[in-house]
Amino acid sequence: MYIGDYLGRRAIYSPDKLAIIDYGKNPEWRLTYRQMNERANKLANYFKSIGVSKGDRVAIFARDGVEHLDTFFACAKLGAIHTAFNWRLHWREAVDIVENTMPKVMIYSDDFKSIIAEIENATRNTQHAIRNYIHIEGKGIEGGRHFESTLQSGATTPVTCEALEAENIAALIFTGGTTGLPKAAQVSHRMIAWNTLNTVIHDVTHNDTYLNVFPMFHTGGLFVYTLPQVIFGGTTILIRAFDPALVLSLIEKEKVTIFGGVPAMYQMMTQAENWAQVNLSSLRFCTSGGAPLPVPLVEKYTKEKGIRFKQGFGMTEFGPGIFALAPEDAIRKAGSIGRPNFFVDARVVDDNNQPLGPNEIGELVLKGPSYSSGYFNNPAASKDAVDAEGWFHTGDLAKYDDEWYFYIVDRKKDMFLSGGENVYPVEIEKALYQHPAVHMCAVIGVPDAKWGEVGKAIVVLKPGMQATEQELLDHCRANLAGYKVPKSVVFVDALPISSAGKILKRELKALYGK
């Protein structure tokens, strides 16, 4: 009966332990595991009263806050499916997802009231119509209910779904959707449990305090540390959106022990006005993923703040904790994502799915119990993602060295051919980051009459520093083979960044790819 009742268990084991601090509230909310379990029971009882049951989808279109977790844990108690929408979507894209997932409830924050109104209008008289709208703040759309008053109106009677099995789906997490409708990875209760085991082996303790800066519609926000922290009994801090100065001040104020981000976030934090004076000594380690962490950035954090970095690699459909690189290897194995986590098998294979040896580039494939249950309402994509031997194909080009440390060479779709040679933008970006004036950069392939494709670097310089196009090209030429050197450099004030903190190369290709 406890497969989905995470808070019910935690309320028994550590009822008075601080579970969640929500800095999206003013003043911030501090909630114990007993209080979080009471909130989840109340919301689950309300959902039950309006007909939500096992397998039903409950959607949320909101900035980060405790309401995401209230919804997730209430759904888990009922066996329903938490379905978090990417709030960067256009309303027409959101309507497509509503039609695919058919949620019974839509919870939303006031930031997105106009989008929700468009969704309600577009689906009102269809079979996809959502019958229950709940707003987190503000007045909401006509006929909706207020989240907190609705939650508090629910009964405190404990709720569990005794028919729940490990393979039942707890959440839908949507993939990037760079082409067509985003696919919804089905996160089972089994997947959550195995990811938690991989995470605690990765050095999480019962007494950690974690600051989450990833959006909760993203696997990084909900599953990298937040769910393992709840299962393990730690404290998680939530903020509405990533703010470099706020993050630094909260690490000091709340004595945060674990922090996770992507390289772009770590770069931005070094430029925050409070970087020089903030005390980060409470941190046991920081985790970085999403892209290789530039060595100069590791060195800056180590020298100026004494930070130990753990680097890693994860994805929506697997884990998300898949690889980890220990802090002592951050410089020695710079650019590596580390070794597979304990219960993950990994291979690098050629186009015929044959395993490759050390230092040979091929596609990274994975197998293990933390794999998702395919894609919701998309059996064709579910089948295509896994080969006949059960290996999940990531679409990432990778290699491993003689010590079994893995390296992501690039995404298959980001690699380009120049004069018949494979060129991997990540490798060029790594070289650019070694230049002292480069703050952030991205490299894309663009058409070229002679070579087919050539590289174009889009660069943000550090405040107060200068560099010319020729200077950066010469720097690349001194560090890379000739065919890898970009043919041009574009200087910009900022790069487009996703809500998860990753550089949006598809937007760069749209702007500069001709």
Share of the chain above pLDDT 70, in %: 97
Contacts of 449 (CB under 8 A, 6+ apart): none
The predicted structure's pLDDT at residue 459: 97
Average pLDDT, the chain: 92
Q: How confident is the model at residue 356 (pLDDT cuts 50, 70, 90)?
A: very high
**What amino acid occupies position 3?**
I
Q: How confident is the model at residue 500 (pLDDT cuts 50, 70, 90)?
A: low
Decide if pLDDT at 179 tops 70. no
Are 182 and 195 spatial neighbours (Cβ–Cβ below 8 Å)?
no
**What value does the mean pLDDT take over residues 478-489?**
89
Residue 83: which of 55, 122, 112 has the closest Cα?
55
The predicted structure's pLDDT at residue 252: 98
Q: How confident is the model at residue 461 (pLDDT cuts 50, 70, 90)?
A: very high
CA distance 235 to 36: 12
The predicted structure's pLDDT at residue 177: 45
**How many Cβ atoms are within 10 Å of 171's Cβ, its own excluded?**
29
The predicted structure's pLDDT at residue 194: 95
Task: Report the Cα 188 to chain-centroid distance in Å.
Answer: 17
Structural domains for the chain: 6-11+30-189 (3.40.50.980), 242-411 (3.40.50.12780), 416-512 (3.30.300.30)
Residue 42: which of 149, 197, 129, 189 has the closest Cα?
149
Residue whose pair of structure tokens reads 């577009």 in the numeric block: 122
**What value does the mean pLDDT take over residues 444-471?**
91
Residue 85: which of 73, 97, 100 has the closest Cα?
97
The predicted structure's pLDDT at residue 88: 80
Q: How confident is the model at residue 338 (pLDDT cuts 50, 70, 90)?
A: very high
The predicted structure's pLDDT at residue 412: 67
Residue 75: which of 161, 17, 194 has the closest Cα?
161
Global confidence as pTM: 0.83
The predicted structure's pLDDT at residue 180: 54
Share of the chain above pLDDT 90, in %: 73
Decide if pLDDT at 56 tops 90. yes
Q: How does DSSP assign 306-353, residue by residue?
A: -PPEEEEEEETTEEEEEEEE-GGGTTTTTT--BEE-TT-EEEEE-TTS
Q: Is residue 458 classed as helix, strand or coil in its secondary structure?
A: strand
Q: Is residue 366 classed as helix, strand or coil in its secondary structure?
A: strand
CA distance 281 to 238: 20
Decide if pLDDT at 210 tops 60. yes
The predicted structure's pLDDT at residue 449: 78
Decide if pLDDT at 178 tops 50. no
**What value does the mean pLDDT take over residues 50-57?**
97
**What value does the mean pLDDT take over residues 325-333?**
88
